[in-house]
Amino acid sequence: MSDARKKQRSYWDALADSDPDAAVIDPNDKRGLKNRYLAEIRDLAFLQTLAARNVANGMLLDVGTGTGSAALPLLDAGHRVLGVDISFGLLRHAQARCGAKDGLFVLTDGRELPVRAQGFDAAVVYVVLSYLVDDATALALLENIRTALKRGAVLVMVEQVRANRRICEDGLKVQRTISQWRRMLEQAGFSSTTCTVLRHGRFPLTPLIKAGLIPRRLWPRVRSIETWVGRHLGVLKWDYAEVKFVAVAP
Ligand SMILES: C[S@@+](CC[C@H](N)C(=O)[O-])C[C@H]1O[C@@H](n2cnc3c(N)ncnc32)[C@H](O)[C@@H]1O
């Protein structure tokens, strides 16, 4: 295993003792409110996109599943999920949360996916390839995902984006530009990519949610404001954004 992969694995394994949502979103979110809010944006993005593509009771591949935070609502919606991840510590949470449902979890660093070709109705990815800083490694994983998908099946991928490419978190993460992500998807053999800005990293209402100053019943309203801002302003020069890419395996 390369040094970069070892570094990734120990970073994520070290987070396995945290709360399962904190481990994979914001480890500093003590109350867990921000993490729940962000997880709900992710879950809606996956569920609504799959429903719009008529994927019901599908066989799904969740790449970089972590603690199974995204897998759980997909299982509850009637899908079967194979989750793969580089961290054994995080996968133990996933197994505990989802093992009794139709979830199956496998340890892999993504170089090879232990799945048969064209076996999946869709794949979901939430902020995983942003942690594959080397473009060739990220591209190889996307190619593996494309091979695992049935013809015409979709990849729904939410990743971090910047107006200018930026390496962050001490070299552990890269925020690519929308065109770099699109090019990579195209090189991996995907077609018809669409992208939607879901939220901005420094959206001013997020710290208020984190501090418990916005009641839960108003979260859907905050979400629609984020959607509106994303649609009209796109990726801002001074902030990163989480962008949903939907790409088709031809
Ligand atoms: C930000 S977390 C997201 C977890 C999950 N997708 C979610 O929505 O909660 C990133 C995940 O990517 C996993 N990861 C990083 N590099 C990976 C690789 N090369 N292969 C598989 N998983 C990887 C990490 O272990 C971690 O669980």
- Please, are residues 249 and 150 in contact by the beta-carbon 8 Å criterion? yes
Q: Tell me the pTM.
A: 0.96
pLDDT at 228: 96
Q: Considering the domain 3-248 in this protein, what is its CATH number?
A: 3.40.50.150
Which of 108, 128, 175, 242 to probe ligand 1 with, by most ligand atoms within 8 A of CB? 128
The model's pLDDT over 119-164, given as tens digits with 9 standing for 90+, comes to: 999 999 999 999 999 999 999 999 999 999 999 999 999 999 999 9
- Binding-site residues, ligand 1, Cβ < 6 A: 8, 12, 24, 42, 64-66, 69-70, 84-87, 90, 109-110, 126-128, 131-132
Cα separation values, 46 from 122, 234, 240, 244, Å: 10, 20, 20, 9
User: Which of 177, 170, 176 has its CA nearest to residue 130?
Assistant: 176
Secondary-structure breakdown of the chain: helix, strand, coil percentages, each rounded to the nearest 5: 45, 25, 30
Q: Which residues of the chain have pLDDT under 50?
A: none
How do the domains of the chain map onto residue ranges?
Answer: 3-248
Q: How far is the CA of 82 from the centre of ligand 1 (A)?
A: 14
pLDDT at 249: 97
pLDDT at 111: 86
Tokens representing 148 are: 């695992």
